[in-house]
Amino acid sequence: MNIRHLEYFVTLAEELHFRRSAERIGITQAPLSLAIQALEADLGARLFDRTRRTVSLTEAGVALLDDARAIIARVEHAKESVWETVSGEVGRLRVGFTNASTLLPIFPHLIHAYRTQRPRVKIELHDLSSSRQIEGIGQRELDVGLLRLPDGPQPPDIVFEPLTEEPLLLAMHARHRLAQAKSIRIIDLRDEPFIAYPRGVALFSQILALCAKRGFEPNVVQETEQMSTTIGLAATGLGVSLVPATLQVIAFPGVVFRKLNDKDAMTRIYVAHRYGDANARARQFTELALALDRRVLSN
């Protein structure tokens, strides 16, 4: 049974006139007649009684009409559902993010803007380390991620689009010996106890690389996964920490933040997604993130 034949049948059932039906469909009468004959042959029943003057539905035609309309409606609904999914209007978007990325100015704007533009898309947010996000994107557990690049080669099937870059600051107790220094460089931290993120966390890998470039390895006395905890521990005087500049918003009594006089003391957030992914929602989220980032930079 051909869906087009059903559409022709419904039109003829409504018009009960071959010429008007053909004009409404945009064809001539001959292919309309052939389509009705083919449908009758498929069903094994006459659908119309035809005379030279009139066309009327048979009992079989009346029985088919409601079902034909329902079938056509279901097919149209299926087409619309597929289009909405392919166009990114509906579905699910699984977004990974690092704990610190929530403090970036772009983060709340990005999530709010996407939800506003795609209200029928269910967005799922997952607080994960950068490495875990990369793994999740590769295994199709996530669609897109906001992350920092870990050391070493990255999977070739994942695209990393650079977003906002920010300086690393030194967080320390207000009475630390460097708190009043006019200029602080990473080399000045050679003998300092460090509060750091666990090994394998992308930001700590970057800090290790910065220190190694200057000939030393940081003396880590305490590891913590939460950046807010890092600031709290710095307030105790336990050690110093290198943190993204956005952490300054955590106003912790007894903690000061100081700039580093090192041009490479920077860290960048990337938006990551699978290479060649047909997921329109991930593509739209990425494009929105890049557009908002450019807007933030221009301001």
Residue after which a domain boundary falls, among 68, 87, 106: 87
Per-residue pLDDT of 109-161, as tens digits, reads: 999 999 999 998 999 999 998 999 999 999 999 999 999 998 778 889 999 99
Q: What's the confidence (pLDDT) of residue 277?
A: 78
Residue with tokens 């990337």: 270
Query: How many domains are there within the chain?
Result: 3
Mean pLDDT of 265-290: 91
Same domain, 9 and 25: yes
Same domain, 202 and 245: yes
Domain interval for residue 116: 91-164+267-298
Same domain, 196 and 117: no
Domain harbouring 110, CATH code: 3.40.190.10
Closest by Cα among 76, 75, 70, 50 to 10: 70
Residue 247 has pLDDT above 80, yes or no: yes
Closest by Cα among 104, 150, 165, 140 to 273: 140
Same domain, 170 and 258: yes
Same domain, 73 and 217: no
Mean pLDDT of 210-228: 92
Residue 64 has pLDDT above 90, yes or no: yes
Catalogue the E-assigned strands of the chain: 48-50, 55-57, 91-97, 121-127, 144-147, 158-173, 193-196, 219-223, 241-244, 255-259, 266-274
Same domain, 83 and 224: no
Same domain, 172 and 259: yes
pTM recorded for the entire structure: 0.71
Residue with tokens 């295994």: 139
